[in-house]
Amino acid sequence: MGFEPLNFNHLRSFWAVARTGSIRGACELLGLTQPTISKQIGDLEETFGTPLFERRGRRLVITEFGRTVHTYADDIFRLGQELADVVRGSSTDRPMLLRVGVSDSVAKLLTREALEPVLSMDRPVRLECVEGKHDSLLISLALGRIDVMISDRPVDRVSTIRAYSHRITSSTIAIYGSSSAMDRLSGDLPGALDGVAMLLPSEQCRIRNAIDVYLEDHHVHPRIIGEFDDYALLKAFAQAGYGLFFAPTSVAQDIEQQYGVAMIAEIEDLRETVYAITSERKIQNPAIERMLHARAERDLARIEEG
């Protein structure tokens, strides 16, 4: 059975209800009557064969499928407006929207470093960043809810979701601490870490396994004060002097200034890598393309400096 062609007037009525949260709001936005919008949404649901809203008391609540349709509708009408601007010959300076999913195991400063090149493009870009678990964000990417995700691990080769990993930044890891925490060190590293209070990333963070191997290889057993999913929370405890911690070297200056700590030593054997994960191999989005080119430019600069 063939699929009935999509009626974009019906889609716009649905989009307006989802955007405003009510049929009344959609009526005001589109200048249509309530019966017209209700009928158009009903026709659209019949076309899809799936409800877009469910009624709870007097409220309309968008369904899971409805949220997916709303994401696509946002893109359709945004691109349609841009096309109209081009046809009219007007130069559009409307910011390009980039929806970014950020794995909560990635250090916030590394995320900023990865996204900074996007904000320096000639065309203005508006970021929409959401944070979540790696696997949940991968599903959002597949459903088109985000344009790109930033993670500390690439896509698993056996993943059923088609996605592609692009390395965008990589940094060695260093040990940091407040002045009070450093006062508790005695002797040379890494042996001096034995029995010292430390704050570690949780086991869901990819770097944690490498840290554990490093400590085990040097027969060092620090006193673990806490384990954290959120790097920012970990650093807040470190700022208060509760223990030493591991963090990327590339953002050392920011960490030292923001949290009032100092870098104690760089560990060449430890490295954290950040990936941009996309649903397409050939990148079409200019903002994502800029992210990837910026990484190549940074690598070239390091080679020239060396």
Answer with the residue of higher pLDDT: 1 or 257: 257
pLDDT at 4 over 90: no
Helix (H) or strand (E) holding 100: strand 96-103
| Mean pLDDT, range 155-178, rounded to an integer | 88
Q: Decide if 178 contacts 238 (C-beta within 8 A).
A: yes
| Mean pLDDT, range 115-127, rounded to an integer | 90
Which of the listed CATH numbers 3.30.1600.10, 3.40.50.300, 1.10.510.10, 1.10.10.10 matches domain 8-87? 1.10.10.10
| Mean pLDDT, range 159-187, rounded to an integer | 87
Buried b (16+ CB within 10 A) or exposed e, 28-46: ebbebeeeebbebbeebbe
| Mean pLDDT, range 120-135, rounded to an integer | 90
- Name the band, by pLDDT with cuts 50, 70 and 90, for residue 240: very high
Which residues in the chain are classed under CATH 1.10.10.10?
Answer: 8-87
What does the pLDDT read at residue 282? 78
- Average pLDDT, rounded, for the chain: 86
Superfamily of domain 96-169+274-305: Periplasmic binding protein-like II (3.40.190.10)
Which residues in the chain are classed under CATH 3.40.190.10?
Answer: 96-169+274-305
What does the pLDDT read at residue 142? 86
Q: Which of 22-26, 181-185, 258-262 has the highest mean pLDDT?
A: 258-262
What does the pLDDT read at residue 53? 92
What does the pLDDT read at residue 86? 60
Cα separation of 240 and 155, whole Å?
36
Question: What residues have CB less than 8 Å from 82, skipping those under 6 apart?
Answer: 92, 94
Answer with the residue of higher pLDDT: 91 or 236: 236
Which residues in the chain are classed under CATH 3.40.190.290?
Answer: 171-273
pLDDT at 1 over 50: no
Assigned CATH for 171-273: 3.40.190.290
What does the pLDDT read at residue 213? 94
What does the pLDDT read at residue 295? 67
User: How far, in whole angstroms, is CA 162 from its chain's centroid?
Assistant: 18
pLDDT at 299 over 60: no
**Strand 262-278 relative to strand 148-151: parallel, antiparallel, unpaired?**
antiparallel
| Mean pLDDT, range 256-269, rounded to an integer | 92
- Render pLDDT for 214-227 as a digit per residue (tens, 0 to 9): 999 999 999 999 99
Q: Decide if 18 contacts 59 (C-beta within 8 A).
A: no
pLDDT at 127 over 90: yes
- Name the band, by pLDDT with cuts 50, 70 and 90, for residue 45: very high
Half-sphere exposure of 287 (CA within 13 A, CB side): 22
Least confident of 13-22, 75-84, 178-187, 245-254: 75-84
